[in-house]
């Protein structure tokens, strides 16, 4: 892990020397890492879509053969065999974890104490945002994908979210950034925005696409 952390730390310092703004350097490195991981993230989303289709098939079979357990077991095993490869896609987040963790820790270990034009009211990136603008922005970005379930433009069949269902996300977003250094907040916001754009793009892509 230390090797990954040092690579990212050196990358941030290089970009800082190039841009002259540590906040922009963090944004650029975060975007580079997210772009590298994008193919894996898309595979994960496709795997999750396929898993939803499989789950629906399982429910249909359970209902259809609820009075014939033997036939039900045969049909369910058939589905499990046919879709066993697709389950590998669900493991992708674990493959990305060391990279994302390394990026986070490299930013957390930065010793640079300088202002950034992205958040000019904070003395340096090691300070917290006393105006709570960073926690607010990150929280809005965090809940945005859930809110999109209300938008018909994506043509999905998702159940619209409720305040109760997204409340844990709101609390998490506030807790994770309210006491975090601004440098970490910039990372979270950049990563969250990238994920949001990716989510919108994938929803549009998968709008009329069948995942079987």
pLDDT tens digits along 92-125: 566 667 777 777 788 777 776 778 899 888 888 8
| Longest pairwise C-alpha distance within the chain | 70
The parent domain of residue 43 ranges over 1-208
pLDDT of residue 104: 76
pLDDT of residue 175: 80
The torsion of the CA quartet 187, 188, 194, 198, rounded to 10 degrees, works out to 150
Residues in CB range of 19: below 8 A, 6 or more apart: 25, 28
pLDDT of residue 145: 74
pLDDT of residue 154: 55
Helix then strand then coil, in percent of the chain rounded to 5, is 75, 0, 25
pLDDT of residue 146: 72
CA-based nearest residue to 118, from 106, 131, 134: 134
66-98, pLDDT tens digit by residue? Answer: 777 777 787 778 777 766 655 555 555 666 677
Whole-angstrom distance, CA of residue 98 vs CA of residue 199: 22
Question: In Å, how far are 11, 19, 64, 107, 138 from 25, measured between CA atoms?
Answer: 8, 7, 57, 10, 19
Q: How many domains does the chain have?
A: 1
């Amino acid at each position: 892990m230390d090797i990954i952390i040092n690579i990212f730390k050196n990358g941030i310092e290089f970009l800082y020397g190039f841009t002259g703004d540590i906040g922009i350097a963090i944004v650029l490195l975060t975007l580079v890492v997210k772009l590298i991981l994008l193919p894996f993230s898309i595979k994960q989303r496709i795997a999750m879509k396929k898993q939803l289709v499989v789950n629906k098939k399982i429910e249909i079979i359970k209902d259809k053969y609820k009075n014939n357990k033997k036939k039900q077991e045969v049909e369910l095993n058939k589905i499990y065999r046919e879709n066993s490869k697709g389950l590998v896609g669900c493991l992708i987040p674990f493959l990305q974890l060391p990279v994302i963790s390394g990026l986070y820790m490299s930013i957390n270990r930065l010793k640079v104490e300088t202002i950034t034009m992205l958040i000019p009211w904070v003395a340096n990136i090691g300070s917290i945002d006393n105006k709570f603008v960073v926690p607010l922005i990150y929280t809005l970005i965090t809940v945005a994908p859930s809110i999109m379930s209300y938008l018909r433009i994506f043509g999905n069949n998702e159940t619209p979210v409720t305040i109760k269902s997204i409340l844990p996300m709101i609390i998490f977003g506030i807790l994770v950034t309210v006491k975090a250094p601004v440098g970490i907040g910039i990372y979270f916001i950049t990563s969250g925005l990238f994920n949001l754009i990716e989510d919108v793009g994938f929803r549009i892509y998968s709008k009329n696409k069948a995942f079987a």
